[in-house]
Amino acid sequence: MFKIEVRDVHFWYGNSEVLHRIDLSMAPKTVTALIGPSGCGKSTLLRVLNRMNELIPGSRLSGEVFIDGRSIYTPDVDVYELRKRVGMVFQKPNPFPKSIYENVAFGLRIKGINHRSFIDEKVERTLRQVFLWEEVKDKLHKPALALSGGQQQRLCIARALAVEPSILLMDEPASSLDPISTAKLEELIYELKQTYTIVLVTHNMQQASRTSDRTAFLYKGNLIEYADTATFFTNPSSQSTQDYITGRFRTEG
Amino acid sequence: MNRVFLRLFKAIDAAGDWYDRQRGDGFALYGLVFTLFVVAIVLGLFTYVSIAGFPRLGTRFFTGFASRIPEQAGILPAFLGTLWVMALVFLISFPLGVAAGIHLERYVSQRRLARLLEVNITNLAGIPSIVYGLLGLQFFVRGLALGESILAASLTLSMMVLPLVIVATREALRMVPGSVTEAAYALGATKWQTIWYHALPLAFPGIISGVLLAVTRAIGEAAPLLVIGAVAFVPFVPASVFDYFTVLPVQIFFWATKPQSSFLINASAAILVLLALTLLLNLLAVRIRERWHKRIES
Amino acid sequence: MRRPAEKLIEGLLGLSSLFTLLLTFTVIGVLMYNAWGFFEVIGLGEFLTGTRWTPFFENPAFGMWPLLTGTLLTALIAMFTALPLGLLISIYLSEYANATWRNVARPALDLLSAIPTVVYGFLALVFVTPALQYFFPALERFNALSPGLVMGFMILPIITSISEDAMRAVPANLREAAFAMGASRWQVAWRVVLPSAFNGVTAAVILAFSRALGETMIVSIAAGQQPQLTFNPSVAIQTASSYIIQISLGDVDRSGLEYKTIFAVGLGLFLLTFALNNLSYWLRARFKQQQR
């Protein structure tokens, strides 16, 4: 059974259609990369999966998205509970202007959990999960903004994991990081795959080929190609995919 | 105490969250209710004042002088006093405030001096109006021997609103696109020519709107004028800036504090006149600013 | 020909800038000069520690505490009114309201601060006090409660406008992060936006408090003229500002001690608000730096 199923999804901002008839499914504990030129709708598609798209007034969706076999766009779905099951990491690291500890604890606190030792334990466990514990264990109560960019991004991942999601959405998580931090992040993605289903938006094709199991190429709101990453990069079936991955791609107009 | 606050904080948090989860963003409704609550209270009070004061608004009220008999008392000297003050505050605070604003915005290059002047102006803006009254009493009324005159009152109020004019001038100048200044410099204009011929004309509506707001503030003030010696009875039409004076807010104060309740009707009526005047000036200032924003942003 | 004229203009502009500094010094000078005359006779000790303010008695006492408690009492009542209301309204306007509503509500709230304070005072005396007396018959005709409540509405726009600006300046990506973790809109506002805008909001609150301390007409009209060392909101009190008005309205010998008292009281008021305003300014400057 698939973890995520997107069926016939169309999406509009005002009158402009930014996603057109998207169909794709993702198996549990895999990494799916979404690639494509900027403005192709890959970030929008990501936000459709945890209904973050709804925060923008004037947006509209048709079609269905299933997570664990249940539709997430029916009226009885609690959107806040949904987002707790689907974690998200953003382009720019965005830790709260609080301590490292409070950043990770935030997700527990909004759940109404205030049990001190439980939170302590959870903070340590998630920080270990993202390989940050050794670096920050002595300064847990120092401001998170004092960390380096790469550390901040891993902290943001820890923060998302603390809520215990089963899916992790990543929106170009390495775009503001240096090469060493990026390498560490990719290693982390590989580790996280053992537990989580990951959807990764990236504009870096090497990254997509290194980290993902399957790759989807979007162009102007259309899903052009969706295949095993190995097949996708060695033997793409569509001409525009071929052009895009070889860098010969031209945007019309 | 601290624990109580902590509890309170948690309770508010939990309540707000609960409303939001019950119905999508349920607190939105409550926020709207709170905002409307404030607006409704204010509207209600105005209705009350209007109903109380309206019957008094007749010719006699506008052409009469102060009187022991409420039905015969009028606001002529107070109204004219307010007009005098309005004109003088405009004439005094406008050149002074605009000059200081231009200097601060375009001429002060030393960071420390700029900071000192800026902090100073923020402080001037924060001084309670009654303290300006004390300044006026000692400095203008006694020191410069202007007496309890319209001029002393206008000078006092001008000092009080000066920071408003300066801040408005600076903000208006900042809205002028840098390209305009650069173009003027490129044509060989001097600094002052650039400001006078290019920046000021573009910033002018913004400045005027700020000065109007400052004047509005000035004509609503009673406290500093009571300190410098505004009087309750002015039995003549003020004809020069050295005359004794009263203004609408002062007249309202004296009527409101009289024991006979029929003077409250006079106070309500005078409040209607004062509110009409301030709201009119306010709307004018806002309209000018809005039109200017549209023009300068296009 | 052009150069000297330019220099002259620049000089004049500089003089008007200098004038603002002179103005501050003059205010301080005027207050100090007259207050000095007062302290020479009374002594700073009695003023600072005395608990009775009875300038018109045969044996006058000049302890500032009754005026201070009166001033604090009305200002605190105003804050208790304005703070919760202002905070909720700014959260609503910055996090919930759509643009249309915001554009209606903001100018409407700002109008509250355009209303002359004498009007507020009148409303407190002839409307709010009788209305409150209906519920609390023990309330005196002049009291601290009614002008305090009304003052709360007067300072409401200060709190809403500055703290709404501060909240809207909080970067959108922090909100996104919290939403993505399943926080409700309220939790985002209360646990992420409000703490991030804390300095800005605090600055607004301090500024509003300072404004309430110096407010004159509302308390002069509706709070009474009895300097009492009390925190009972239902009895007549006197604030520092309304004492100054009371003396100004009487026939005061301008070389006498009473005339000088108002400057001593004014100096105290000035120092109090001066400290608060600078604290507020400093907090706002820090907030702006943090947002960068």
pLDDT tens readout for residues B29-60: 777 787 888 888 888 888 888 898 888 888 88
Read off the pLDDT band of A193 (50, 70, 90).
Answer: very high
Beta bridge partners of C62: C53
Residue C16 lies in a domain: no
* A239, two tokens: 């001409």
Q: Which of C20, C31, C83 has the most B C-beta neighbours within 10 Å, making it the best mutation to test the interface with B? A: C20
CATH number at residue C141: 1.10.3720.10
Contact C283, B260 (CB under 8 A): no
Q: What would you report as the CA-atom Rg of chain B, rounded to the nearest whole angstrom?
A: 24
Residue B59 C-alpha, separation from nearest chain C C-alpha, in angstroms = 23
Q: How far apart are CA B228 and CA B234, in angstroms?
A: 15
pLDDT at A162 over 70: yes
Identify all chain A residues contacting C98, using CB atoms and an 8 Å cutoff: 57
Q: How far apart are CA B220 and CA B274, in angstroms?
A: 8
**B18 and B131 fall within a common domain:** no
Segment holding B75, helix H or strand E: none
Residue count (chain B): 298
Look at residue C213 in the predicted model and tell me its pLDDT. Answer: 94
* Residue C65: DSSP 8-state: H
**B101 and B240 fall within a common domain:** yes
Residues C9, C10, C16: CA angle, nearest 5 degrees: 90
Phi and psi at B260, nearest 5°, equal -70, 130
pLDDT mean over B267-295: 90
pTM score, two decimals?
0.88
pLDDT at B72 over 90: no
The number of distinct structural domains making up chain C is: 1
pLDDT at B294 over 60: yes
Identify all chain C residues contacting A87, using CB atoms and an 8 Å cutoff: 180-181
Indicate the average pLDDT of chain B: 86
Identity at B274, one-letter amino acid code: L
Look at residue C2 in the predicted model and tell me its pLDDT. Answer: 62
Contact C69, C235 (CB under 8 A): no
Phi and psi at A227, nearest 5°, equal -155, 175
% chain A with pLDDT above 70: 98
A113 touches chain C (CB under 8 A): no
* A20, two tokens: 């057109």
Is the CB of A110 less than 8 angstroms away from the CB of C171? no
pLDDT (tens digit per residue) in A119-137? 999 999 999 988 899 999 9
**B242 and B279 fall within a common domain:** yes
Q: Which of C1, C163, C185 has the most B C-beta neighbours within 10 Å, making it the best mutation to test the interface with B? A: C185
Identity at C96, one-letter amino acid code: Y
Cα separations in angstroms, B241 against B63, B89, B149, B245, C135: 21, 12, 7, 9, 49
Helix spans in B105-235 (H): 111-126, 129-135, 150-175, 178-186, 191-193, 200-219, 223-228
Local structure of B242: helix, strand or coil: coil
Q: Identify the closest residue of chain B to A80 by CA–CA distance.
A: B21
Q: Identify the closest residue of chain A to B13 by CA–CA distance.
A: A110
pLDDT (tens digit per residue) in A30-59? 999 999 888 888 999 999 999 998 888 888
Is the CB of B256 less than 8 angstroms away from the CB of C187? no
State how beta strands A4-13 and A59-67 pair: antiparallel
Buried b (16+ CB within 10 A) or exposed e, C137-158: eebbebbbbbbbbbbbbbbbbb
* Residue C229: DSSP 8-state: -
Residues ≥6 apart with Cβ < 8 Å to C135:
none
Q: What's the ipTM? A: 0.91
The dihedral over CA atoms of B192, B194, B198, B200, expressed in degrees to the nearest 10, equals -30
Q: Which of C121, C66, C58 is nearest to C231 (CA)?
A: C66
pLDDT (tens digit per residue) in B232-254? 677 777 777 787 888 999 999 99
Identify all chain A residues contacting B14, using CB atoms and an 8 Å cutoff: 112
Look at residue C1 in the predicted model and tell me its pLDDT. Answer: 47
Domain ranges of chain A: 4-245
Look at residue B54 in the predicted model and tell me its pLDDT. Answer: 86
Residue A80 C-alpha, separation from nearest chain B C-alpha, in angstroms = 8
pLDDT (tens digit per residue) in B81-107? 999 999 999 999 999 999 999 999 888
Is the CB of B253 less than 8 angstroms away from the CB of C217? yes
The tally of CA atoms less than 13 A away on the side-chain side of residue B270 is 35
Binding partners of A (≥3 Cβ pairs within 8 A)? B, C
Q: Which domain holds residue B164?
A: 62-297
pLDDT (tens digit per residue) in C235-276? 999 999 999 999 888 877 777 788 889 999 999 999 999 999
Residue B1, class by beta-carbon neighbours within 10 Å (0-12 exposed, 13-18 middle, 19+ buried)? exposed
Beta bridge partners of C53: C62
**B82 and B214 fall within a common domain:** yes
Q: How far apart are CA B55 and CA C255, in angstroms?
A: 46
Phi and psi at A63, nearest 5°, equal 100, -170
**B66 and B27 fall within a common domain:** no
Identify all chain B residues contacting A110, using CB atoms and an 8 Å cutoff: 17
State how beta strands A222-228 and C53-54 pair: unpaired
CATH class of domain segment(s) A4-245: alpha beta
**B21 and B70 fall within a common domain:** no
Local structure of C69: helix, strand or coil: helix
Q: How far apart are CA A97 and CA A101, in angstroms?
A: 11
**B267 and B147 fall within a common domain:** yes
Cα separations in angstroms, A123 against A88, A104, A116, A130, A162: 18, 6, 11, 11, 7
Residue C65 lies in a domain: yes
Residue C46 C-alpha, separation from nearest chain B C-alpha, in angstroms = 23
For tokens 């060695």, the residue is A234
Q: How far apart are CA C148 and CA B118, in angstroms?
A: 32
Average pLDDT, consecutive stretches of 10 residues, N- to C-terminus, chain C (292 residues): 78 92 95 91 86 83 90 95 92 88 84 90 92 92 94 94 92 92 90 89 92 94 90 91 90 78 93 92 79 54
What DSSP line would sit under B122-141, residue for residue? HHHHHS-HHHHHHHIIIIII
- What residues of chain A have any CB closer than 8 angstroms to a CB in chain B? 78-80, 110, 112
Identify all chain A residues contacting B24, using CB atoms and an 8 Å cutoff: 79
CATH number at residue B241: 1.10.3720.10
What DSSP line would sit under C151-169, residue for residue? HHHHHHHHHHHHHHHHHHT
Identify all chain A residues contacting B21, using CB atoms and an 8 Å cutoff: 78, 80
Phi and psi at C44, nearest 5°, equal -65, -35
**B156 and B282 fall within a common domain:** yes
Q: How far apart are CA B232 and CA B125, in angstroms?
A: 29
Q: Which domain holds residue C174?
A: 53-291
pLDDT at B181 over 50: yes
The number of distinct structural domains making up chain B is: 2
* B120, two tokens: 């100073």
Q: How far apart are CA A180 and CA A220, in angstroms?
A: 32
Number of other residues whose CB lies within 10 A of the CB of residue B140: 22
Look at residue B23 in the predicted model and tell me its pLDDT. Answer: 63
C179 touches chain A (CB under 8 A): yes
Identify all chain B residues contacting A112, using CB atoms and an 8 Å cutoff: 14
Chains B–C, number of C-beta pairs less than 8 Å apart: 249
**B48 and B195 fall within a common domain:** no
Beta bridge partners of A62: A10
Q: How far apart are CA C242 and CA C229, in angstroms?
A: 15
Is the CB of C186 less than 8 angstroms away from the CB of B28? no
Q: How far apart are CA A246 and CA A248, in angstroms?
A: 6
pLDDT (tens digit per residue) in C61-88? 888 899 999 999 999 999 999 999 999 8
